[in-house]
A = this chain, B = another copy of it.
């Protein structure tokens, strides 16, 4: 080891979800939207003036926050944007969680919460889910340095009712409560109506799923002006220009086209209904998804076996080799055609495996 290498930051080298690129593959592993972004984005791309690239972007991202504000009925000073919801959430951790009390989040949830807490030296405690993977709201009625709830939760796909979210907020008037709504548009209940009542509520959403723009890297947060100002102060203090011109411009057009947005959400939810039915018919337990993915376990064939067999057929789903969920698959909801092909393949695999 070289002298200087002893001072390298020690991290668990995370391997990002595969981004295979094979002709004819079926990619149901990273919860991308199977439909293209709004045609308005195409138009924005054609009208984009290249000379804009020469200049630094507007650090306050006004073009984008204004579009979000119009659509969600909020003011600019209630909206923060970042490079994907990962950036927004990490900035929120850094900004809000500086108490010595531990922050709380479920033990089965988005895996980056733990990573950011460790990165910024934030004490944290994970709270076990119920056996059926639901969140028990009462577990969050205790002293803490902050709370983070993914709703719907990932990878479980389950929604926590708005009343329960309100109860958690009512029992936590002393710390910031983050509700991570990356998947909320697929049938979950947004905490947006609670913003008026709770100045310590931060809601985080993303363009990556419902808006079909994982490739543009935009996440955003809604909250009281005091929270948003704190986020911006922290962000400006160490990196003022993170959102590039194309993302600001294309993002604003995508969010304004709510008609298209709702259309593709409807299509995905329809696919979800029949696909869940079919999978249950094949012996799968499927949790009640309010997201664009299934969290599914087969009664007889182990998840890891199905995962590997699917891979051989160039069908990609996600498998987490973690205690408590290691017999589950996370399966993104694709187009009707993709789901048919997936179900046919999975049906063959189950038959083969049971024949052994």
Contacts and interface: CB of A to CB of B under 8 A. Distances in A.
Given A36-B50, A45-B48, A242-B83, A214 B56 contact: yes
Interface string A6-43: 01110111111101000000010010111111000110
A173 interface: yes
Interface stretch (A127-135, A186-194, A231-239, A302-310): A231-239
Nearest to A54: B212
B3 A174 contact: yes
A233 B7 CA distance: 14
A236 B96 contact: no
A7 B84 contact: no
A301 interface: no
Interface in A140-189: 145-146, 173-176
Given A244-B217, A244-B247, A247-B246, A236 B15 contact: yes
Closest 3 CB pairs of A and B: A215-B245, A16-B240, A11-B237
Given A238-B119, A247-B246, A54 B83 contact: no
A158 B317 CA distance: 54
Given A15-B236, A33-B54, A41-B50, 16 more contacts: A4-B176, A7-B99, A7-B145, A9-B230, A9-B234, A13-B237, A14-B236, A16-B59, A17-B56, A34-B54, A37-B54, A45-B50, A56-B208, A86-B241, A115-B238, A246-B247
A51 interface: yes
A222 interface: no
Contacts of A36: 50-51, 53-54
A94 B9 contact: yes
Nearest to A41: B50
A84 B98 CA distance: 27
**Which residue, of A56, A175, A233, has the highest number of chain B Cβ atoms within 10 A?**
A56
A52 B59 CA distance: 26
A53 B32 contact: no
Interface in A234-262: 234, 236-247, 250
A283 B127 CA distance: 69
**Which residue, of A45, A94, A239, A242, has the highest number of chain B Cβ atoms within 10 A?**
A239
